[in-house]
């Protein structure tokens, strides 16, 4: 299970998580599952907003024996990729993420979680094989990252032209290695804006994230 997160909005977490899920789905005979805790995955993949319940509704029911199954709310995004949308409810910090992890394991698929902005719940981090902090080489982002008590297992760095800070600065401040660098490319933005990320994944994006997928 790969958990993607950021400390500042607009860092590119959803695009990174969605790309990782598309890569894993293409590589795995069984496909892959993308769990959306932030709410932007359908838009990034160019899908209609799911009208049914999502993970927030599942988490809001404290009685595990009376919950709907996660399998019943998963939506087929591509031939090999399923997504579980966020849903319409607020996901609170005291939600039972341990039970969510156990339920996700029943899929027996590669799982990628878009945890959005903020430190993910400890239960998710404890069960994850990789915890990827997505960040730009931005002073404000690094300032926030330096103040958190949780260390990711790796950093996905979104490089932007003209920034004074670089890979070494990011690694020193956060104390974690950069495991992938995404070069700023207009083709990525065009694919997202046109709703084509799921069908025309930019080659540069898939190549640069292949090592951590």
What the chain holds in terms of domains, given with CATH numbers, is 2-212 (3.40.50.300)
What pLDDT sits at residue 93? 84
pLDDT reported for residue 158: 94
The pTM assigned to this predicted structure is 0.94
Q: What is the pLDDT of residue 111?
A: 97
Q: In what order do the strands lie in the sheet with 75-76?
A: 75-76, 81-84, 32-36, 111-117, 2-6, 130-135, 154-159, 178-183
List of the chain residues with pLDDT < 70: 65-66
pLDDT at 62: 73
pLDDT at 102: 94
- pLDDT (0 to 100) of residue 164: 86
pLDDT at 120 (0 to 100):
95
């Amino acid at each position: 299970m790969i958990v993607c997160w950021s400390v500042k909005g607009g860092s590119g977490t959803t695009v990174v998580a969605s790309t990782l899920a598309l890569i894993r789905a293409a590589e795995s005979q069984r496909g892959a599952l993308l769990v959306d805790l932030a709410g932007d995955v359908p838009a990034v993949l160019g899908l209609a907003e799911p009208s049914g319940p999502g993970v927030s509704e599942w988490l809001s029911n404290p009685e595990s024996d009376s919950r709907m199954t996660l399998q019943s709310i998963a939506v087929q995004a591509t031939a090999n990729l399923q997504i579980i949308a966020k849903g319409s409810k607020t996901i609170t910090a005291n939600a039972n993420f341990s039970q969510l992890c156990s339920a996700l394991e029943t899929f027996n698929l590669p799982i990628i979680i878009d945890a959005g902005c903020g430190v993910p719940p400890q239960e998710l981090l404890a069960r994850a094989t990789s915890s990827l902090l997505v960040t730009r080489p931005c002073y404000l982002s690094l300032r926030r990252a330096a103040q958190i008590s949780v260390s990711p297992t790796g950093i996905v760095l979104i490089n932007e032209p003209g920034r004074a800070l670089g890979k070494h600065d990011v690694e020193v401040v956060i104390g974690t290695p950069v495991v992938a660098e995404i070069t700023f490319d207009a083709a990525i933005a065009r694919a997202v804006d046109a709703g084509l990320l799921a069908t025309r994944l930019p080659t540069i994006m898939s190549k640069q994230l292949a090592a951590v997928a």
